Chain A
Amino acid sequence: MALPHQSTPFHCQAQSCTADVIPPEEVRARIEVLAKHFLESLNSPNPSISILSLVCRTTESTQFQEGFSTGSFTYLSRAAQQKKSFTQLNGMRSFVKVWKLMQIVYELLQLGKKATQRELYYRLLADSPDYFRSQQQVNDTIQDLVALLKCSRYSLGIIASSKGAVVGRLLIEDESGEVVDCTRLGPSGHIITADLGFLEGLRFRSDARYILVVEKDAIFQRLSEDRYFQSFPAIILTAKGYPDLASRVMLYRICKAFPGMPILALVDWNPAGLAIICTYKFGSTRMGLEAPRYVCDVKWLGLRGEDIELLPKEALIEFSHKDHQLARSLLASKMLENREAYKLEVGKMMEMSKRAEIEALYAHGYDFLGHYITQKILRLQYI
């Protein structure tokens, strides 16, 4: 898989920084290198305590790269480094915390086991109660470690729960040879496992023509139950809201397996819906270093401004304060800079100060959703 790397000699910040999925031996090796460096510094003629160099994860260091063939993505600039030093007053505690976490992670990797973030919290609470008092502190330190070792949380042995599901005209074969036929599943579909290594080893076969990414679980289940994919050749995927890493990896792998298949998103007509599309399309700062790898060219099918006239007036809901905030920040973001159509949509939402949910389409009957999707796709009404 080629990493979307763009580097020009004119911008020193052009080198992007990503967290790789690397095998446990290599993570351990990186930790050992750091430990060796630490000891060498202490043992040198001018003894000192080595400084840890992390990638800076703030909005200032987030860059946006427009790509033409490789796709656009957000990334963290390698040039902006944050230093953690034992001798600086503010940095001392977080310096120690990173080392303490490294110790536990090293043990985890040696045993070949995995742990959840909550379990790490209890472990650290039991071992070092003076340093770790809350789950949030543990999560922040985990992000620090990811930024330090430049490898994903999954590589550190941290497991998360899965959110996504997939259904439709897709055959998934795993490394053991087992095949899952996604046309023959219940309404909840095939749950996407959080095990990224497992996802990387999957092979796909499909006769679908489109991939449909659905924001909400209820819509996903409705399409699945109605067997929408029997009458229209599609693969349907949901991450139940903002996609977690595993769902994005799954979508990425499917879209790489079938390069010609358009990926169409079905979200509510509100700023959050567009933000979800942007996360699939460009990655997110929150996921920091794990962002740029799995971007896919997702297009916005619906709901859109042109569909509002299909809905009864009562279905339109007032914008909340948060909606306004999100809309403003989307309009100001670099991601939408060259995307006039998206800006127009947000503009219309803000002008009407209203939003609408996909379920509003049910006002025309339960079958209408399927017709609506098919019509829009066949008329190429996606942006």
Chain B
Amino acid sequence: MADLSTAQKILKRIQDLVRELLQDIARGSLPVISIDRFIPCDSLTDGDGLSVYERCESQERIALKGRTSTQRIDQVIVDQAINDICTKLKCARSSIHVFSASKGLVMGCLQYIDQGRLVDCSRHRLSGFPIPTLTDGVTLAMSEAEYILLVEKETVFQRLANDGYCMKNRCIVITGRGYPDVPTRSFLRLLVNALHLPVYGLVDADPYGLDILCTYRFGSLAMAYDAEALATPSIRWLGVFLSDVRFHGIPVRCLLPLRENDKRKAEAMLKRQYLKIHAPLWWGQLQELLSTGTKLEIEAVSTISFSALANEYIVSKINNLQFL
């Protein structure tokens, strides 16, 4: 939380760090900063830990050399530097006042207060409401939602908005428009903590869709140090699945073949031990994708009928508990 005491703590950590560096220099030795590094739990054979990312045995030691860097400062380097700083100071990005513009959208049975303004997400808007950039400034006002629906793609979100999904169903719909950014994941976490609602994920049945779902559920490697505040372990995979072709009347022709990059992604993901242990059914679906060599997109549901997604598919899956 970005309150005064946290700011004081971080300032103190910065001062301690600088003091260490000065002491190194005073002693005549090369100043060194050591930063924890995270690796995903796929290479550990007895990955029993609750955390998805384990600190490496050896910490990376960055030494200041005599020469100045000739590297041009660009965004990638700055991002990495910010991550390093947050890891070292053990704080969230928002605590050091670094914000990323929010990409996500929300709509449905929800009212919240953001920096003094009341936002009512149940008002019928065809494009949804942007998720607030700073979750810290948000307090929930009211919600009668029965569940939270998470969709991967903006086009699906808009399709649901167009069909008036939230007018007919008491729920909250969120999209991160692809890989979710920090504000989106943080906002989802806030909703879950406050409302204790089930969360259903609607993604394409392909390796990238599942990876996006995993990012929501487990967090991301880049932000591993903040995984606890950003991961939502209770997410369920509602669809789509390859088996929907059998059980929901989607023509078999709509199964598209996996491309080379899909296959590579799937093989890499199958190595993730934490996925196998904590989400074995998801891991099983991934295997099925690879063994059949096919994938299925959410839009294929529209072959049943144009509004099948909003009117039948989602609701029937939830009611029949057909999620993983």
Contacts and interface: CB of A to CB of B under 8 A. Distances in A.
A317 B251 CA distance: 50
A80 interface: no
Contact of B101 (A118, A121, A161, A221): A221
B133 A187 contact: yes
A173 interface: no
B127 interface: yes
Interface in B109-146: 114-115, 117, 123, 125-130, 132-133
A108 interface: yes
A113 B154 CA distance: 18
Interface string B295-324: 001011011001100000000000000000
Contacts of B162: 114, 159
Given A115-B306, A184-B117, A195-B126, A161 B299 contact: no
A108 B254 contact: no
Contact of A191 (B73, B115, B130, B132): B130
Nearest to B306: A113
Contacts of B23: none
A194 B158 contact: yes
Question: Which one of B114, B158, B306 has the highest number of Cβ atoms from chain A below 10 Å of its Cβ?
Answer: B306
Contact of B155 (A113, A118, A185): A118
Contact of A194 (B105, B123, B126, B130): B126
B130 A186 contact: yes
A111 B305 CA distance: 11
Contact of A115 (B117, B129, B302): B302
Interface stretch (A123-131, A278-286, A287-295): A123-131
A191 B254 CA distance: 33
A82 interface: no
Interface range, A side: 20 to 34
A184 B158 CA distance: 24
B133 A186 contact: yes
B253 A116 contact: no
Given A113-B307, A125-B253, A186 B299 contact: no
Interface string B160-202: 0010000000000000000000000000000000000000000
B254 A122 contact: yes
A162 B127 CA distance: 7
B287 interface: no
A332 B136 CA distance: 52
A217 B102 CA distance: 10
A195 B102 CA distance: 23
Nearest to A163: B154
A111 B306 CA distance: 9
B274 to A, nearest CB: 32
A373 to B, nearest CB: 19
A194 B162 CA distance: 10
A218 interface: yes
Contacts of A108: 306
A191 B132 CA distance: 13
Contacts of B37: none
B72 A126 contact: no
Nearest to A161: B154
Interface in A191-224: 191-195, 198, 217-218, 221
Contacts of B251: 125-126
A162 B299 CA distance: 18
B276 interface: no
A196 B302 CA distance: 23
B88 interface: no
A185 B158 CA distance: 21
Nearest to A199: B126
Nearest to B116: A184
Interface string A101-144: 00000001001011110110111011001000000000000000
A351 interface: no
A296 B129 CA distance: 28
A314 interface: yes
A166 to B, nearest CB: 12
Given A108-B306, A187-B133, A218 B159 contact: no
Contacts of B132: 186
Contacts of A61: none
13 contacts: A113-B307, A116-B299, A119-B306, A123-B303, A125-B253, A161-B155, A162-B158, A186-B133, A189-B130, A193-B126, A194-B126, A194-B127, A195-B126
Interface of B: 72-73, 101-102, 105, 114-115, 117, 123, 125-130, 132-133, 154-155, 158-159, 162, 251, 253-254, 297, 299-300, 302-303, 306-307
Interface of A: 108, 111, 113-116, 118-119, 121-123, 125-126, 129, 159, 161-162, 178, 184-189, 191-195, 198, 217-218, 221, 314
A-B CB proximity, top 7 nearest: A188-B130, A119-B302, A126-B251, A118-B299, A193-B126, A193-B127, A126-B303
Given A187-B102, A221-B133, 8 more contacts: A111-B306, A113-B306, A119-B159, A119-B302, A122-B302, A125-B253, A129-B253, A188-B130
